[in-house]
Homo-oligomer: A and B are copies of this chain.
């Protein structure tokens, strides 16, 4: 595909090279997944990495042969060899880093959730509106063909008007233990399904109620359920339990069902086409999001990264997911958290 660089809309900073040059800020587990994928993708060059942990930085940068290494993200933002940054830090660092990155003129791909509060989201969005770069929150599920084809079927009217939706996104408690000091199950994963539901229905949240359960020893609750009434009359229910048995066969038990007046659709990401029964039990590995057969990544994360790279090359603001849509999911999950803590219904 020969990109014809037609600069439309924003005045962005694109280097003369056709390769999009990318930096990653935050090298936790998922930051490394970003880096690994970027390093393997055509038309993209992974040029810079940043983490506060020097040893981690050396490990990852050596392995991926990245020269520009930073322990202070501001230094990476000042690096002219970077066009785009992935921000893959903890959610509580999202606001400040994203704002600084946007002010620096970089294109910013910020991991979800955008921020812990709607107020923080607003600050980020203001910075994005003023900044010279493009901005997208990484709502990866919108790039999942299962969800995207579902969205198309809904747009074509195949299931009529949406009445009821349920989403589940459950994980092993082994994963829960690693993550639940940083974020709750509902905020961490419910955000995905809140987004898909609002995307599918093109509706707004009218009211939110939630319950959380906290059987673990971590800071945030392991399990949460939120039920929202939408302004089109539909009910939308999100289930996140990060407390499946450690030997659960599910890499992730993620499902989403949408019932409309004329039809219904059923997304099942929990059973993704491969079950391995061995001496250790049953495992159903990820085959769609970032599988790595023969040491080479493929899948939905690359589709997301490719999409943003194409937006950058074309100088076009991302349409697949907008900052305002990202903020709406934070609004829902923040309200759900409040509801779970207070026991009351939150009206929008």
Contacts and interface: CB of A to CB of B under 8 A. Distances in A.
A152 B277 CA distance: 14
Contact of A239 (B237, B309, B345): B237
A273 B278 contact: no
Contact of A245 (B43, B277, B285): B277
Interface in A315-342: 320
Contacts of A215: 161, 163, 233, 261
A244 B277 contact: yes
A227 to B, nearest CB: 6
Q: Tell me which of A233, A247, A278, A291 has the highest count of chain B C-beta atoms within 10 A of its own C-beta.
A: A278
Identify whether the interface residues of A are mostly helix, strand, loop, or mixed.
mixed
A39 B227 CA distance: 44
A19 B2 contact: yes
Contact of A1 (B42, B151, B168): B42
A174 interface: no
A175 to B, nearest CB: 14
Interface stretch (A52-60, A100-108, A125-133, A298-306): A298-306
A60 to B, nearest CB: 16
Q: Tell me which of A212, A227, A276, A298 has the highest count of chain B C-beta atoms within 10 A of its own C-beta.
A: A276
Contacts of A235: 211-213, 223, 225
Given A42-B42, A148-B293, A266 B275 contact: yes
Given A152-B293, A209-B209, A212-B235, 18 more contacts: A1-B40, A1-B45, A43-B43, A146-B272, A148-B291, A159-B245, A159-B276, A163-B241, A170-B259, A207-B343, A247-B277, A249-B282, A266-B277, A267-B274, A281-B282, A288-B288, A294-B320, A298-B303
Interface of A: 1-2, 19, 39-45, 145-146, 148-153, 158-159, 161, 163-164, 166, 168, 170, 207, 209, 211-213, 215, 222-223, 225, 227, 229, 233-235, 237, 239, 241, 243-245, 247-249, 259, 261-269, 271-279, 281-282, 285, 287-288, 291, 293-294, 298-299, 303, 306, 309, 320, 343-345
- List 9 A-B pairs, minimum CB-CB distance, nearest first: A148-B293, A263-B278, A42-B43, A281-B281, A158-B278, A145-B291, A146-B273, A145-B287, A146-B274
